[in-house]
Amino acid sequence: MYAQWTSRLTGAVVWTSTPSGSAAGPVLPDGCMDLLWNEGRLLVAGPDTHAHVTPDGASDWAGLRFYPGTAPALLGVPAHELCDRRVLLANLRPAAEVRRLTAQVNAAADPASGLEEVALRWAAATEPPDPLLRRLVTALDSGRPVAAVADELGLGARQLHRRSLASFGYAPKTLARVLRLQRALTLARAGVPFAETATRSGFADQAHLARDVRELAGMPLSRLLARSG
């Protein structure tokens, strides 16, 4: 069973996942990174470029999903170094710090709230996120072309590419594609017909939507909706 709620950390989401007896759906690319708890360990999920399938097993998970582009500054590692990876926090932060944080999360009322406290303390000790990153996400999520967005933000193509890799783990066009997929899924899950979903979310047509879903999610849209319903 999966549940999520808005975090006290701006733009973030706290979530939990517990065994339900049925196979878990794939974790789809969304431009985000997560701080994870599983079986007493702390991990980090990097940005995905394709569906990530969680291994079967009766194991509880908790996580805090950071707003796109904000996690690298808190973790001190460029997003592209963690692309399509799940790594132990101990591989990214000093061992003594990770032992202390792990003990605090395990001693919390629940792991999800413990993770949120860790993220809030990191944020309080870090410079605020670059507002340009949120403007970039908002512009690309509106379906605007990458070149037009670069001009609006006053960035050259190479600079935008470099900053996008460091902050999101993706090139700008890949980030735009991932955000477009998420727009389409929101509409399709709300019952919008697939052809209308394709048009409203920025695809050329329904066939284009179908191809992207297969490539990014690893299965047809109808099957994906059935598994996540």
Separation CA 165–CA 214 (nearest Å): 24
| Whether residue 194 has pLDDT greater than 60 | yes
Compute φ and ψ for 34, nearest 5 degrees: -125, 145
Q: What is the mean pLDDT of the chain?
A: 93
Out of 70, 105, 124, a domain closes at 124
Look at the chain and report how many structural domains it folds into. Answer: 2
| CATH code for position 144 | 1.10.10.60
pLDDT tens, position by position, 51-90 = 988 766 568 999 999 999 999 999 999 999 999 999 999 9
pLDDT tens, position by position, 122-172 = 999 999 988 999 999 999 999 999 999 999 999 998 999 999 999 999 999
pLDDT of residue 90: 97
pLDDT of residue 20: 72
* Whether 19 and 119 share a structural domain: yes
* Whether 78 and 161 share a structural domain: no
Burial 40-77, CB ≥16 within 10 A → b, else e: eebbbbbbbbebbeeeeeeeebbbbbbbbbbbbbbbeb
Beta-sheet pairing, 13-17 with 61-65:
antiparallel
* Whether 116 and 144 share a structural domain: no
* Whether 68 and 171 share a structural domain: no
* Whether 104 and 41 share a structural domain: yes
Strand runs labelled E in the chain:
2-6, 13-17, 34-38, 41-45, 61-65, 86-88
Out of 124, 149, 177, a domain closes at 124
Separation CA 150–CA 154 (nearest Å): 6
| Whether residue 16 has pLDDT greater than 60 | yes
pLDDT of residue 42: 98
pLDDT of residue 164: 95
Secondary structure letter of residue 191 according to DSSP: T
Torsion of CA 90, 33, 137, 173, to 10 degrees: 100
Separation CA 2–CA 21 (nearest Å): 12
* Whether 58 and 162 share a structural domain: no
pLDDT of residue 184: 97
* Whether 12 and 91 share a structural domain: yes
* Whether 217 and 148 share a structural domain: yes
| Whether residue 205 has pLDDT greater than 60 | yes
Separation CA 55–CA 140 (nearest Å): 32
Secondary structure letter of residue 54 according to DSSP: P
| Whether residue 118 has pLDDT greater than 80 | yes
* Whether 82 and 157 share a structural domain: no
Contact 67, 7 (CB under 8 A): no
| Whether residue 229 has pLDDT greater than 60 | no
Burial 193-214, CB ≥16 within 10 A → b, else e: ebeebbbebbbeebeebbebbe
pLDDT of residue 58: 66
Separation CA 29–CA 65 (nearest Å): 12
What is the pTM for the complete model shown? 0.92
pLDDT of residue 53: 81
**Look-up: residue for tokens 């993770």?**
115
* Whether 9 and 120 share a structural domain: yes
Domain interval for residue 87: 2-124
Q: What is the CA radius of gyration of the chain?
A: 18
pLDDT of residue 108: 97
Out of 124, 150, 185, a domain closes at 124
* Whether 172 and 192 share a structural domain: yes
